Amino acid sequence: MIKIMKYGEVANSEIFARTQTNVDVESIVTDIISEVRKQGDAALLDYTEKFDKVRLDSLAVTKEEIEEARAAVDPAFIDILERAAENIRRFHELQKRNGFILNDRRGIVMGQKVIPMDKAGLYVPGGTAAYPSTVLMDSIPAKIAGVGELVMVTPPGKDGKVAPVILAAASVAGVDRIFKVGGAQAIAALAYGTESIPAVDKIVGPGNAFVAEAKKQVYGKVSIDMIAGPSEILVVADGKSNPRHVAADLLSQAEHDKLASAVLVTDSYELAEAVSRELERQIPLLDREEIARASIDNNGKIIVADDLMKAIDIANEIAPEHLELCVDAPFDYLDSIRHAGSVFMGRNCPEALGDYFAGPNHTLPTSGTAKFSSPLSVDDFVKKTQYTYYTKDALCEVARDVAYFATLEGLTGHARSAVVRLEDES
């Protein structure tokens, strides 16, 4: 059963405690990455046989497999995928950046170019569930950014095939190449390249603890989106909220993972008790009952605050991945929200709307990192290059200032490079 605690009556360490993982994966992942770097495709095929219980002849997904998968998917779902993709495109198109030129002083031109990455890698989880939504959310911003090639990796099933809904989503999103490999070995392949899989410039997408650790270890060789932790939802709700709705929203994240975190912060003890009862009623109705039960019992909590503004303060301190504002006039509180991955406004905006269809990205910062990081966006797939141009006269005006600055830092070579041109002129 979920814990109910009154803010101010229990230690802050308990209020703000985060899910702890006890799996030590660092050395295992280090060994996997090393093997992939040495053995390439052979290591990938061996690990796929070991972990996914299938021996593949080839890692690449063929055009025929994609067409076959798309034909196997319910046409109604294809329509939903296409409409969701359009919503995602409309939102992310507005994130596109342009370069700029600054030339308001005689003889000086400065500017910045925005350049898409050459190659990006997308990791899509397999295993207990297939997530075509991840394909859309992580591919479409890359395509909008203008990434040259988008490479997707995802583990196969025991039949050696990728889930048809995953391939259908990849087709809708415009993924360029797809490979049947998952886990830390897939991250290693994207980072260092193998005979089949090209090395990329950035890796994005969620995964289990092994995938997260692999992304951490290859960072620096490639860029990554984030080190994602278990899923989180925090609901701020007032006493007018429907406990049935609030409980359902909490469970929408609790069913992801036994380590997922579902938190309610409310100014109503009556709502707290009603939501607790609703959770007990609804958990047995879920297909993933065992997972949701573990999440709620071990990581779930209901925090009762004195008022809604204190509830907002608590939410900001936790900095959740998903934040629901189940209150009247939610826009009155939006400016007070400083730390959250994505905010869902009002009583008719369940977090699941953002997971699949609305348009804003669902790849979000977890574990409190919303205090300093952002949702996946078009910005993640571009880099910026700046440039400077001075005429001879413009340089002469400032060369001695540059040299003075450099000399103060003890860098006489820097200083000389600025004034040597003046000496030549004189």
Handedness of CA 80, 123, 128, 209 (dihedral sign): negative
User: CB of 381 within 8 A of CB of 117?
Assistant: yes
What one-character-per-residue DSSP string does 80-106 give? HHHHHHHHHHHHHHTT----EEE--ST
Token duo for residue 353: 């709307």
AA identity, residue 239? G
Name the nearest CA neighbour of 353 among 157, 133, 178.
133
Count CB atoms within 10 A of the CB of residue 138. 29
User: CB of 125 within 8 A of CB of 182?
Assistant: yes
Q: Rg of the chain's alpha carbons, rounded to an integer?
A: 26
User: CB of 360 within 8 A of CB of 321?
Assistant: no
Our measurement of the distance from residue 81's CA atom to the centroid of its chain's CA atoms, rounded to an integer in Å, reads 20
SS3 222: strand
Where in the sequence numbering do the catalytic residues fall? 321-322
SS3 content of the chain, % helix, strand, coil (to 5): 45, 20, 35
Q: Provide the Cα torsion 122, 127, 128, 132; round to 10°.
A: 30
Token duo for residue 116: 């898409």
Strands (E), 106-148: 108-116, 119-123
